[in-house]
Structure formats: structure tokens, C-alpha cells
Chain A
């Protein structure tokens, strides 16, 4: 079985995000970019499936700017076998929309015929939480979302999901799209020897036109603004004063 893992290049989650002065988006110039953490978990899970003998080949796909190569090299260094880069934008500030991504991924799936697509449940930059679901719908495949556990059982995948009040395990028929959650696994570090080997692995570069997909945006960003700054606290001297302050604030 082939496993397809889409990976997105996003602003590093440890970077303090700054909004551009004109409010048109987040400033990404010379900012540390990394693989979307949920996608990293998906790559790790694919490697574990391969190590367990349940997958033969792992293909990492990234859609975005040319620099997404770095993200794919990370996936290759972790253990993906080959990579496909679809250059759909020339500007790092242009976020390719989930529907476009899903259409492109469908085209890749049609070409590669994987038995499983493992995606992150959402990208940490736009928090859309849409691509996996859209892809499953376009393919007409079953989907298991927010996986915190995954077992391949013959033609089925048992997907454990964190739901309110506990865990839910569902059985979905393969081929399937599974989107992964934080607690599924802890991704491995990319070793330096593997990074060197990854430079020799196959990385194909494509465009949306190659797949006949129109990548022009349908959504318009009206405004981006920073969250309101946290207000300074006050130190109270006694419980009475605390109660008084809470009353003033109208919270008790």
C-alpha cells in the first residue's frame, strides 16, 4: 500500500506572530517556517506503518511556494520515500485555499492510487480544518478525522478519536482519508545522516496546470488584526479585597 502525506509549510509555532502594518495578513518575511505540526505527526504515523510492514511507499506532497522544498526535505529526512511539490503560489503571503489544495490532492491521488491519505487535522496558520474532509468528499472515500489512534485491519482502518467525555473508535473502509490529532504519536527528529541521504531522494516539481486545476483564490481576506493585548492584573491584599474586586467586575 502507498501512503500519501500532504505537508504544509507554516509559520513556526514558537514564533511570535506579527500582523503586517496594512492589516492584509501576517508578516512572513524572514520568519522561521516549519512543517505544520499535525502534518509532522502524519508523516511519523506513515513511517510507523511502513516500519510495521503495513505500507510500502510514503509519498509526501506539498502545495505552496517553491520554498516548500525545505518542508518536503524534512519529510524525506524523517523517512518519506519521495516527494511531490506543486508550486501554486509565488508569494509566501498567499495562502492556497483548502478547496484548491483538496482538488490538487485528488489529482495526485488519481495518479498515485494510494491506499491511505494521512493528513494533519488542520494547519496551525489558518486553522481551517477543511482540507482532509474536502478531499474525502471529492474522492468519495471514507474519512476518519481527529485520529489519536490508528490501526490498519485488512481492508479497514480503526480510527480512535478524542470526543467529549472519552474516546470513540470507528471502523472506516479503505481507501480512506485519515486526519490526525496531536496525541497520535511523537514525531522523530530528523537525523543529520538522513538529511544528507534525503537530498538524493526524488522530488518532483509540478504546477496546478499539470493537474488541470485552477488555483485562483475564491476567498477574500477582509482584515487581519492582532488579538487584544492582555490587561495588567492587580495584586490584592486580602480575601475581602478580592471579593470586592470580583464584585466590581461583575463576575460573582
Chain B
């Protein structure tokens, strides 16, 4: 059993760390973006360097007190808030935000865990390189949290998720040891991959303090288009057509359901409606080009082919980066519109691509057995990742649907599992999906995960309650 933070531990931490490293928790430390979970903490500690992080972990281990590492706090599955058990140490990485180095010729960059994602992107840009991890919260989230949750975002299709963008890590393990693994190697076959164990561990196996990251040549131009498609099956065919035309040039391929555009209009969030009439389905496509290549010409050729194949009937193409930002603004404001409308249940599922059209076509009828709902389905189609969110019908609120949330989620996750999918594509497990992991994970894998956790963190101090519960 773990102990709560007490005065004796606070005194020891105060003695071991520089002035100003400790503070009592404030409400903002204990919240998460969806407002569904409320955390608790005995003290907030903000170390300035890796050795200080190690000191905190060692003190916590001796006192058997839980440690919840917190990065930007934008996670959607309550991995950053300790909802139960004795109040833990909240270990904030926000002061460790230095970019330690950029190696343009190696396409590598080393940043501390608390570096804001947008600052990592800027540091790469400053050397004419691209760090492709990109998500709606990039101005707030921090790279340590991105790696701990193996974040995805909008360019996974081309560049992979956070795991694929990491070359090495520096981390403090639960026993207080510092693992110096900031290698900048593409090839390093030397035994178990601790890096990939810590990525996606959501702070349950240690604290990532810095990361060596992969960079890419920066595209000289990116073209952005939104194309209307008749249905999700056509969207998938269009994705295949885009692949045939443009190969790795397709860097994002987002499916947008009409409901999301209606929500944007209903909530009055600032956006420019792309079409006079809201289409039932559309896709947002980014094409990256290098040298003197013209991405817009490529998109126009793709549209001409799509028109012939009857995969698209209408579309718009950004004529400036400002218009491109406007189109992406539509996509990125949909989650905000969802929050304003108030979902009954939100889901972040992954499916084999070929199962997606059937799933989307068939789920509304299944859900209708549980009540009348509106569904907003959008997501990273290229990655098989759907955000499949369920809302009250117009004029009603989620309070009118008592108990529906669990039943809806169960039905969606069961169906996803049946089709060979995942109940968490890019958000992680956190505390919100601990039950799902127990229910759907392969038993042998779950047992191996428990063994790893017990071996690295026998006292269970690291992010107690998250992932394995």
C-alpha cells in the first residue's frame, strides 16, 4: 500500500531541491480537458534537471508515495490525474523545457520532456527540418507526455506516431536510476527495447526526462484540399487513389462527417463554411512537395481522377497557406464543438481499414436499440482511427440519457473488438480505459505487462491506478 504525501517527505524534498521547486496543488493541476475526472495531489514538484527528477523518485520510493508525472495535461483519458488512493506527488516537467541540440545533418533533435510540442516543431523549422508530430493541442502539450502516451495526430499516415519519431530516451526508472539512452541512431539492435517500453507506458514504468527525436526534410510546399465524397467507402477508395497518384506525398487524410460541420455551425465557433450545403462526408487532404514540385497541381490531378471514378463530386483547394490554415481550423475545431454540444460518450477507436465503411454504416442501427442519438464520426481515416462520438438528439441534453454512456461505450467497444480493432487508437488507457484494457486485452499480453510492471516498479509508485489499474 502507498502512503500519502506527508510533512516529513515535503521537508526532505525541500532540502534536496532548489528553492521554488515545490508548491501546493492548484485547481488547474487537478483537472483534465473533458472535466470528467478530478485529481488529487499532496504536493506539486517542478524539478529543473534529470538528477532532481531522480531525487524525487528516490524519495518517493523510500516513503512509498505515489508519483504522477504531468506534462502539458492535455491527455483525454485521465492519465494525468490521480483520482483515487492516497494523494501522490505531482511531478511537473514544465521547467525542463530546453532543446538540448539539433543535428540537421543527422535529422535529429534532443529536447527535454517539458518542451512544448510547438517549440520542438519551431526548433526543427529553424534548421529547415520538419518534426512531424502535429495535433490540436500542440501549443500546450509537451513532448514527454506525447511520448508517454504515444500520441498520434494528423500526420501519422506518413510519418508514424510518437513512437516512430523517437530515436532515444533519457528517463528516470522507478528505482531512481537514470537511464542515459539519448542515442541518435537509426540502428541499434542491442537487446530489449526499453525505449519502446517507456513510450506508451503513460508514466507507469518511469519518467521520461528527455528524448532524441527524428526529423525530416521540410517540404517546400504543402497543398491542402477538401473533397466531398459520397460515403466512407468512397473516402477509402479515394485514399487508395491518392496513394497511387502521390505515394508518400499524402501526409494527412482526414474524414469529416457532416454532423461535425453542423455542430460547428450550431455552436457558432468561428470558421468559414467550406461549402454552401454541408456535405454528409468529406475528406481533408494534405500533400507535401519538395523542391519545385507543385502540390496543388497534384491535388488537381487527383481530383480529376476522383471525378472520373465518381469518388468525389466537389471540392475546394487552398490557394494560400492562410486558406489551408482555415480548412484545418475546421477540422481542429470539431472537438471543441463536440464539447459545447456535450457528448454522451466519446471514443477513439482503431479498425482495420476495410472494416471502417461497414462499421460506420451499421453502428447507428445498433445504437438505435439504446435510444435516439446523433453521431459525429470523424478522424484520421488514413490510420484507421475514428473518433466516433455519440450525442443527444437536438433539444435534449446528456442528462436526459441516464446510464446511456456506459451502454453506448460498451456496445461500440465490443463491436470494435469483434472486428479486430482497438478501444484506444491514440489517446491511451489512462484511468478512463483501465476496465477496457482488462476486458479486451489478450490475456498473455496482460500477464506480461503485469510482470514488467512488477519487475520495474515493485512498490507500484509510478502513476498508480493508470493503465493496469
Contact = CB atoms under 8 A, between A and B. Distances in A.
Contacts of A70: 296
Contacts of B323: 189
Interface stretch (A32-40, A158-166, A167-175): A32-40
Contacts of B296: 70
B6 interface: no
A14 B315 contact: no
A93 B118 CA distance: 31
B319 interface: yes
Contacts of B315: 191-193
A108 interface: no
A77 B319 CA distance: 10
Contacts of B127: none
A195 interface: yes
Given A30-B291, A32-B221, A196-B304, A190 B316 contact: yes
B125 interface: yes
Interface string A1-31: 0000000000011111000000000000011
Given A30-B220, A37-B322, A192 B317 contact: yes
A192 B325 contact: no
Given A16-B125, A30-B291, A30-B292, A192 B314 contact: yes
A189 B188 CA distance: 48
A13 to B, nearest CB: 6
B322 A13 contact: yes
Contacts of B325: 14
A186 interface: yes
Nearest to B303: A192
Contacts of A186: 272
A180 to B, nearest CB: 17
Interface in A74-94: 74, 77
Contact of B321 (A12, A30, A77): A12
Contacts of B316: 189-192
B329 interface: no
A189 B320 CA distance: 10
B317 A190 contact: yes
Interface in B286-309: 291-292, 296, 299-300, 303-304, 307
Given A32-B221, A190-B316, A195 B322 contact: no
Contacts of B303: 192, 196
A120 B296 CA distance: 24
Interface string A191-231: 11101100000000000000000000000000000000000
Interface string B318-332: 111111110000000
Interface residues of B, number: 27
Contacts of B227: 192
B23 to A, nearest CB: 12
Contacts of B292: 30
A189 B296 CA distance: 14
B376 to A, nearest CB: 23
Contacts of B109: none
B30 interface: no
B300 A195 contact: yes
B314 A14 contact: no
Contacts of B304: 196
Contacts of A191: 314-317
Contacts of A34: 319-322
B320 A12 contact: yes
Interface in B244-300: 272, 274, 291-292, 296, 299-300
B301 to A, nearest CB: 10
Nearest to B294: A70
Given A32-B221, A192-B225, A13 B320 contact: yes
Contacts of A193: 307, 314-315
Contacts of B291: 30
Contacts of B272: 186, 189
A14 B125 CA distance: 14
B125 A37 contact: no
Contact of A32 (B299, B300, B314, B321): B321
B154 to A, nearest CB: 17
Nearest to B293: A30
B225 A74 contact: no
Contacts of A14: 320-322, 324-325
Contacts of A40: 319-320
B85 to A, nearest CB: 34
Given A30-B220, A196-B304, A189 B314 contact: no
Contact of B317 (A30, A35, A37, A195): A195
Given A30-B220, A32-B221, A189 B322 contact: no
A99 B417 CA distance: 69
A40 B319 CA distance: 10
Contacts of A32: 220-221, 320-321
A207 B316 CA distance: 32
Contacts of A192: 225, 227, 299-300, 303, 314-317
29 contacts: A12-B320, A12-B321, A12-B322, A13-B320, A14-B322, A14-B324, A14-B325, A15-B321, A16-B125, A30-B291, A31-B220, A32-B220, A32-B320, A32-B321, A34-B321, A34-B322, A35-B319, A77-B319, A189-B274, A189-B316, A189-B319, A189-B323, A191-B314, A191-B315, A191-B316, A193-B307, A193-B315, A196-B300, A196-B304
Interface of A: 12-16, 30-32, 34-35, 37, 40, 70, 74, 77, 186, 189-193, 195-196
3 A-B pairs with least C-beta separation:
A14-B321, A34-B320, A192-B315
Given A14-B324, A30-B220, A189-B272, 16 more contacts: A12-B320, A12-B321, A32-B321, A34-B320, A35-B319, A35-B320, A186-B272, A189-B316, A189-B318, A189-B319, A189-B323, A191-B314, A192-B227, A192-B317, A195-B317, A196-B304
